[in-house]
Amino acid sequence: MIYDTGAFLVSGLLILVYYLYLWRRTRRAPDSSVHALNARVRERWVDMVMSKGNMEILAVQTLRNSVMAANFMASTAVLLIIGALNLSEKIGTWTLQWHPHALADSESSQLWQIKLGLLLLDFFIAFYCFAMAIRFFNHVGYMINLPGDASTGDSLYQQTCAYLNRAGSYYMLGIRTFFFSLPIILWFFGPYFLLLATLVLIIGLAMLDRTPS
């Protein structure tokens, strides 16, 4: 129990340190972050659609693809929640077989339930993020075909950019939440697997968050 708690705290601290580093790096060099690049690309896309004519079909198709992708991921999150709940009793049995000595007392025997609860919470957060992404993509679908001009500081253009960037942020958070479920799943095998998976995840995130050169 002590090893699992310590591993979980260290894992959370490593992720927190990485995101603090990413935040500081983005403030010093905005061009180094892929998230800042994606936000600028979305704003330029909104400007192109709203300032030029005959772009309605392109806008609808692009937003439809985004909604379909978010809807697929949200459905996947729901299926994972249902699957984890259906396998909850089996997960406890499997955990007992993997760690027969560590689960000898009643306190440790409840550890797998805590892990399962964190895993379900992770999938629920992912579902929420993808659902919110769908919501904002739908709002943008109504706003994008209205005339707007970025050069005049039009409020509709700025609001459309804000909504689209918020939808993109929610989609990104949903994907990240799926990534975070991998260390939790490996945590069922033991605390050392949790730490190893966290380190591998941070390395992967560092590669994804850097702007391609």
Q: How many domains does the chain have?
A: 1
Domain of residue 113, residue span = 39-190
> Above 70 in pLDDT, residue 149?
no
Please write the tens of the pLDDT for every residue from 17-69. Answer: 999 999 998 888 888 889 988 999 999 999 888 887 777 788 889 999 999 99
Give 175-202 pLDDT, tens digit per residue.
Answer: 999 999 999 989 888 889 999 999 999 9
Q: The pTM is what?
A: 0.85
197 in any annotated domain? no
Alpha-carbon gap, residue 161 to 167, rounded angstroms: 10
Given pLDDT bands bounded at 50, 70 and 90, which one contains residue 5? confident
104, part of any domain:
yes
| Chain centroid offset of residue 94 CA | 28
Q: Is the dihedral of CA 40, 41, 42, 47 positive or negative?
A: positive
Residue 171 lies in a domain: yes
Task: Report d(CA 30, CA 49) in Å as an integer.
Answer: 25
User: Is 32 part of any domain?
Assistant: no
pLDDT score, position 10: 94
Is 113 among the domain residues? yes
